[in-house]
């Protein structure tokens, strides 16, 4: 098993250490191949890493023109009259990536990809789902559900979503040779991207997810959207099954809100209720799994060091 937990002092230290690992991996792989395929996450956790990564690229540590990237997820239903307006909405993950990484690079990546959720008209999607209940089913044991569209769906629109938005994104990653290294964060309930707690691992490479009502309401309460009608009700996301196809996965987590899901993902058996726990299966099958945590997120891991090491997981405490 190749599973390592690195404990750092704080957010800045976590970001610096993780960026060093990413740069080292990029440099090693680019000695063997022309392009490096990098998986990217949004959210607060990777923002510091992205600043360090851009700085390293701008200083010549690696050639950013030889990087291709694939992001984890994107909203469906952002405000806007068309796909372009939705993609450039300040709350879109496309906009986030421009702001937090892509615009910081002196030499741009060769290619960037964000799931094509902004191409979907949410109102039309909802109409088609209501009109064609036999074409899809919900999957998940909790409030956030995957909408699984049948391969024999009669609705042309739902077929288009499955084939041209979901399957096409996953297939493009495969055609590019897979992801060399994926950077991920973790949600408060142990979810990765919009692979929400309770959504099954198997058969969900790319997901159309109906967001939990509380997720929609909180987005408004937190000031991200003016009202509920402006807040997306759906999202497109890589599922754990696809995320953990990468040759290396680096998970970042900081703060006490992440303490419980981090501990559950390592100390307990893998379960879809804690999607990041898929990392144990991934490592057991030959993947390189690395957690980079601050001391708050690592609190329960440090309290159970013997149990963690007994599982064959290495701990490196830089705190």
Separation of alpha carbons 179 and 112, rounded Å: 13
Residue pointed to by tokens 């919900």:
138
Q: Is 143 exposed, middle or buried (0-12, 13-18, 19+ CB in 10 A)?
A: middle
| Spatial contact of 277 and 236, defined as CB atoms under 8 Å apart | no
Contact 42, 93 (CB under 8 A): yes
pLDDT tens digits, residue range 90-113? Answer: 999 999 999 999 999 999 999 999
Q: Report residue 9 as tokens.
A: 């002092």
Burial class (CB in 10 A: 0-12, 13-18, 19+), 82: exposed
Count of the separate structural domains present in the chain: 1
Lay out the sheet containing 206-210: strands in order across.
Answer: 73-76, 234-238, 206-210, 145-149, 136-139
Cα→Cα distances 222→78, 144, 161, 235, Å: 16, 19, 30, 18
| For range 55-76, the mean pLDDT | 98
What is the Cα 93 distance to its own chain's centre?
11
For residue 45, the model assigns a pLDDT of 95
Q: What is the pLDDT of residue 278?
A: 96
User: How confident is the model over 233-240, as a mean pLDDT?
Assistant: 95
- Is 293:262 a contact under the CB 8 Å cutoff? yes
pLDDT on residue 129: 98
181, 38 contact by CB (below 8 A):
yes
Query: Domain containing 268: what range?
Result: 2-317
Share of the chain above pLDDT 90, in %: 87
What is the reported pLDDT for 48? 98
Per residue in 206-229, pLDDT (tens digit) is: 999 998 877 777 778 878 888 888
Residue 115, pLDDT score: 97
User: Which pLDDT does position 212 carry in this prediction?
Assistant: 81
pLDDT, position 1: 67
What average pLDDT does the structure give for the chain?
Answer: 95
User: What does the DSSP 8-state code read for residue 212?
Assistant: P
Give the residue, 141 or 222, on which the prediction is more confident: 141
Q: What CATH number should be reported for the domain holding residue 25?
A: 3.40.50.1360
Mean of the pLDDT values across residues 242-251?
97
């Amino acid at each position: 098993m190749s599973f390592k937990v690195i404990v750092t002092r704080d957010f800045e230290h976590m970001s610096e250490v993780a960026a060093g690992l990413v740069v080292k991996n990029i440099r090693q792989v680019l000695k063997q191949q022309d392009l490096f395929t990098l998986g990217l996450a949004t959210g607060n956790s990777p923002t510091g890493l992205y600043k360090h990564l851009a700085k390293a690229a701008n200083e010549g540590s690696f050639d950013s023109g030889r990087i291709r990237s694939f992001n984890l997820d994107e909203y469906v239903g952002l405000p806007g009259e068309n796909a372009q307006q939705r993609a450039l909405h300040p709350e879109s993950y496309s906009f986030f990536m421009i702001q937090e990484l892509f615009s910081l690079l002196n030499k741009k990546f060769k290619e960037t990809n964000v799931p094509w959720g902004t191409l979907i008209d949410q109102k039309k999607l909802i109409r088609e789902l209501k009109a064609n209940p036999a074409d899809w089913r919900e999957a998940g044991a909790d409030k956030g559900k995957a909408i699984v569209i049948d391969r024999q769906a009669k609705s042309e629109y739902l077929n288009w979503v499955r084939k041209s938005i979901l399957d096409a994104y996953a297939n493009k990653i495969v055609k590019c040779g897979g992801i060399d290294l994926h950077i991920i964060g973790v949600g408060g309930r142990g979810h990765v991207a919009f692979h929400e707690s309770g959504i099954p691992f198997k058969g969900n490479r790319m997901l159309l997810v109906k967001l939990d009502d509380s997720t929609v309401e909180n987005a408004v309460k937190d000031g991200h959207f003016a009202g509920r009608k402006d807040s997306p009700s759906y999202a497109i996301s890589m599922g754990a099954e696809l995320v953990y196809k990468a040759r290396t996965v680096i998970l970042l987590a900081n703060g006490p809100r992440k303490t419980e899901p981090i501990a559950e993902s390592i100390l307990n058996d893998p379960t879809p209720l804690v999607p990041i726990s898929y990392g144990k299966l991934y490592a057991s099958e030959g993947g390189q799994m690395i957690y980079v945590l601050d001391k708050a997120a690592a609190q329960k891991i440090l309290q159970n060091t013997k149990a963690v090491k007994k599982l064959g997981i290495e701990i490196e405490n830089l705190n």
